[in-house]
Structures are given as structure tokens and as C-alpha cells.
């Protein structure tokens, strides 16, 4: 039956060949005579490897190998430089060959769902055109920082893995619109949110207790966070006496303020002291009065409304980490902060 379809493709020179669900265990060598094929569907078969003749398909842009018995990405794929979409879901793949990844510069979609993958190699960055990567229902324990170098990514789906953290570098993905991290083992999201275009975030079924500083400034359309260990919505009053700022902290605040003025003596002098400049680069900003400070004086939680503060259609209360510069700000009558985390 498969041979008949191949023969028909030879006669008609169709650019699409569908051999899905044919109980195929191996591909015939005649594929070397089909160089014009652009779309090839081999899903739902019993393929454990692909023949070298497949490298003749230099116009192939879409290849579906889903639901077969592959244990690795077939090496021959590294020769298909025009490949745009690659589906490898439902196989037995546990290892991603760096060599194959380096040979697919035009790949935009990679689907590796329902496999046995534990590690994504750093060479994933070689997929410089990749827009969508999906590795759901695998055994991933970490995400390579190199993923943050893939500026074209708009969608990432790592649902149902064993991730405990995500790298800070993912915030470099300014074009990212959809991020799915549900059902992992995440305990926190890194500080410094930079997803300006993110519209969908799914972190349901993890172990998050609070969202990072500045989370409320994201402009999401959808947020899923049920099934986490969020801090309780319980008001905690500060009973501490007003702190007296140390002289070095007062000096640091003055320097931080002066450094914003490019004409000031401080701003011109700091480049000559790289160690001091590095220390001052870790300054924080009070979540209430917006004043800069060097030492974290107060860390607390504020519950924000997703509809009011983030412009979402749904109204939910989300705990967001907030840094304050003093107890004066914490005890302001016009603001209520909850769940005091650290002094």
C-alpha cells in the first residue's frame, strides 16, 4: 500500500506524500527519486530509523514522524536544511543529537511531546529560526540557558516535566507570547521579568508561593496558576519600630540618585571604579515610593488584581513580591501589604 502511494507520487509529482497509519516498518529506497516532495507524513507507523536516501529530499519543509518507535532523532535529518516543521511526538527518544540540531537552521516548529527526553543540549541555540518548541510529557529536569539566545521564539511548551527552575536568560525572549510550564516542580520564577509581549502564562500545578517583583506589569490575556502553594491572603501588621538608616545606606542612596544625572561628578567618576559600579548595579527600587536603595530593608507580598493591574479580562488575586525601602512605606494608610516575608 505504501509502495502504491510512492509510485503515484512519482507519476503525479505531487509535492505532498501521506504515508501515515500504513504499518510501515522501513522506507523503500525509491525515496531518492522524489526530490520535489515538500510535505511528508510518516506518523502512526512502526519506523525505528530512516534511510540515508531521505537526504535527497532537499525541498522538504514539513516532516511528521509522530507516533513511531524512534529512539533518537534520525541522523539523516541534519541534511534537510530546508526543513521548516518537524513532528517527533509519541516516540521513545531520550537523547537529542547536537549534530542533527546544528543542521536545521530553517526549522521554525519542533514538536517532541510524549518522549523520554531528560536534557535539551546547549546546541539547541543552533536552531536560530525556531519559533515554537514543545517538549511536553517528558523527563526534563532543567532548561538550558542557551534557549534565551533564540530571539525568534514565540511559544514554549514544557508542560508536565520535572523542572525545578527556569533560567533568568528566558527573560531575553522579547518576542515570546505563549509560555506553558504547568505540572512541573517550580518553586519560584526568577526576578527581572522581561516578557513585554507575553500573552499566555501557564504555571498551574507547581509549588509557587509568590510571583516575582514587577509581575503586575505584564500585559497577559490569560494566566493559569491554580494548584500552587500560594501564600495565604492574611493581613500582617508591622509592629517594628521605625529603622534608623545607616550612614553608608544614606550615602548609597545619594550616589544612586546622583548617578542618574549624566552631568554629575558621581556619574563621571563611577566608571573609574568598576568594583563600586558593580556593587551599585544591584540597587533596588521601593515598590511604593520608587526611591532607590542598596540594602533590602523589607520584603513583603501585595495581592494584585489581574483585571485592575494587568488589564486581563478575568479578575483574580495574585500574590506578588514587593520590595520596600522602609517601615514608613509598609505602614502607609493608603496601601495594605500582606504576608511579611523577611526583615
Q: Mean pLDDT in the chain?
A: 85
Which of the residue ranges 57-66, 107-116, 160-169, 248-257 would you say has the lowest mean pLDDT? 248-257
Residues 260 and 317 in one domain: yes
In a domain, 97, yes or no: yes
Residues 216 and 259 in one domain: no
- State the pLDDT at residue 136: 98
Share of the chain above pLDDT 90, in %: 55
CA 77 to chain centre: 26
Selected residue with higher pLDDT from 326 and 274 = 274
Model confidence pTM above 0.75: yes
Q: How far apart are CA 99 and CA 71, in angstroms?
A: 16
Q: How far apart are CA 157 and CA 256, in angstroms?
A: 40
Nearest CA among 9, 69, 61 for reference residue 44: 69
Selected residue with higher pLDDT from 330 and 41 = 41
pLDDT at 335 over 70: no
Burial of 321 (0-12, 13-18, 19+ CB in 10 A): buried
pLDDT per residue over 218-259, tens digit each? 999 999 999 999 887 665 555 544 455 556 666 777 777 777
In a domain, 236, yes or no: no
pLDDT per residue over 106-147, tens digit each? 999 999 999 999 999 999 999 999 999 999 999 999 999 999
In a domain, 238, yes or no: no
Over range 8-33, report the average pLDDT.
83
In a domain, 235, yes or no: no
Residues 72 and 216 in one domain: yes
Residues 123 and 260 in one domain: no
CATH number of the domain at 113, please.
3.80.10.10
Q: How many folded domains does the chain comprise?
A: 2
Residues 186 and 262 in one domain: no
Q: How confident is the model at residue 332 (pLDDT cuts 50, 70, 90)?
A: low
Nearest CA among 303, 159, 305, 314 for reference residue 221: 314
CB atoms within 10 A of CB 282: 8
Residues 320 and 211 in one domain: no
CA 57 to chain centre: 32
| Domain residue limits at 162 | 2-224
Amino acid at each position: 500500500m505504501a509502495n502504491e502511494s510512492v509510485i503515484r507520487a512519482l507519476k503525479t509529482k505531487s509535492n505532498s506524500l501521506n504515508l501515515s497509519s500504513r504499518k510501515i516498518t522501513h522506507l523503500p529506497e525509491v525515496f531518492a527519486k522524489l526530490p520535489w516532495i515538500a510535505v511528508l507524513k510518516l506518523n502512526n507507523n512502526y519506523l525505528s530509523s530512516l534511510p540515508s536516501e531521505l537526504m535527497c529530499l532537499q525541498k522538504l519543509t514539513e516532516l511528521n514522524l509522530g507516533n513511531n518507535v524512534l529512539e533518537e532523532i534520525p541522523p539523516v535529518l541534519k541534511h534537510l536544511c530546508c526543513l521548516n516543521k518537524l513532528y517527533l511526538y509519541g516516540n521513545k527518544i531520550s537523547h537529542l543529537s547536537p549534530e542533527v540540531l546544528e543542521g536545521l537552521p530553517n526549522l521554525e516548529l519542533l514538536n517532541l511531546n510524549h518522549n523520554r527526553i531528560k536534557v535539551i543540549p546547549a546546541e539547541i541555540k543552533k536552531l536560530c529560526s525556531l519559533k515554537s518548541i514543545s517538549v511536553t510529557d517528558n523527563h526534563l529536569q532543567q532548561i538550558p540557558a542557551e534557549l534565551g539566545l533564540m530571539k525568534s521564539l514565540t511559544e514554549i511548551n514544557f508542560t508536565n516535566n520535572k523542572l525545578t527552575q527556569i533560567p533568568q536568560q528566558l527573560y531575553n525572549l522579547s518576542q515570546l507570547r505563549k509560555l506553558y510550564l504547568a505540572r512541573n516542580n517550580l518553586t519560584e520564577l526568577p526576578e527581572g521579568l522581561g516578557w513585554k509581549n507575553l500573552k499566555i502564562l501557564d504555571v498551574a500545578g507547581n509549588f509557587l508561593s509568590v510571583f516575582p517583583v514587577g509581575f503586575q506589569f505584564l500585559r497577559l490575556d490569560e494566566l493559569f496558576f491554580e494548584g500552587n502553594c500560594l501564600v495565604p491572603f492574611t493581613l500582617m501588621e508591622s509592629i517594628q519600630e521605625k529603622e534608623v538608616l545607616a550612614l553608608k545606606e544614606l550615602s548609597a542612596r545619594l550616589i544612586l540618585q546622583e548617578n542618574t544625572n549624566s552631568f554629575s561628578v558621581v556619574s563621571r567618576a563611577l566608571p573609574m571604579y568598576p568594583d563600586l559600579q558593580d556593587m551599585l548595579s544591584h540597587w533596588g527600587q521601593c515598590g511604593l515610593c520608587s526611591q532607590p536603595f542598596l540594602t533590602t530593608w523589607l520584603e513583603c507580598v501585595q495581592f494584585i488584581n489581574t483585571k485592575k493591574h494587568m488589564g486581563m479580562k478575568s479578575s483574580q488575586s495574585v500574590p506578588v513580591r514587593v520590595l520596600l525601602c522602609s517601615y514608613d512605606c509598609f505602614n502607609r494608610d493608603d496601601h495594605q501589604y500582606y504576608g511579611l516575608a523577611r526583615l
